[in-house]
Chain A
Amino acid sequence: DTGVSQDPRHKITKRGQNVTFRCDPISEHNRLYWYRQTLGQGPEFLTYFQNEAQLEKSRLLSDRFSAERPKGSFSTLEIQRTEQGDSAMYLCASSVTETQYFGPGTRLLVL
């Protein structure tokens, strides 16, 4: 068991392009969370899955953002038509109890 993994670790894209991030949770963790962290701030909640069901979405998750968790395993977060304001660290966490374990994050830079 190697913990939560995220891919890619870094992504540079041009404004208007689509990007997709992947998160692999700790095996047997049925809960998976996405957060966004901007410089100098704490992480902000984006969305939450229990198994394959997306149970909650933040108002931060505009219609350009979509997340999936097919078969309740890995999850993907896609951002369409990226904007410079989307530049941030995107963190994934998983849990089976109340304690969430975080991955290393994907740092996105939109030029």
Chain B
Amino acid sequence: AQTVTQSQPEMSVQEAETVTLSCTYDTSESDYYLFWYKQPPSRQMILVIRQEAYKQQNATENRFSVNFQKAAKSFSLKISDSQLGDAAMYFCAYSQGGSEKLVFGKGTKLTVNP
């Protein structure tokens, strides 16, 4: 079974600084997708960024970028120029084949200090 591990239960960053959230996963499949979702307190889960496993180029969405290391099965999220609104739980998730269930890590709580 596929597993997703987020080894940092909590992280903090100063406003305007850069922070990296770690994620590793375990799979024997070659066709899969990886995602980072953000869940602000008492608000719904929203997609931050996604990566297709067959693409070597790391995905980027504005201030958010990933470092996808397929051989190492690592998928970290970098947030640049952190803003107060970035404070949330961040979940790393895996999906096999593109239409299947998401397997989530336990999450990393990010605090942004002014």
Contact = CB atoms under 8 A, between A and B. Distances in A.
Contacts, number: 53
A74 B44 CA distance: 19
Contacts of A90: none
Chain B binding surface SS class: strand
Interface stretch (A14-22, A78-86, A91-99): A91-99
Contacts of B98: 97-98
Interface residues of B, number: 23
B73 to A, nearest CB: 18
Interface in A8-26: none
B78 interface: no
Contacts of A48: 100-101
Contact of A91 (B4, B45, B93): B45
A43 B44 contact: no
Interface in B1-32: 4
21 contacts: A33-B101, A40-B106, A40-B107, A41-B106, A42-B4, A42-B91, A42-B104, A42-B106, A42-B107, A43-B45, A43-B102, A43-B104, A48-B101, A58-B101, A93-B102, A98-B99, A99-B50, A100-B47, A102-B37, A102-B45, A104-B43
Interface of B: 4, 33, 35, 37, 43-47, 50, 91, 93, 95, 98-107
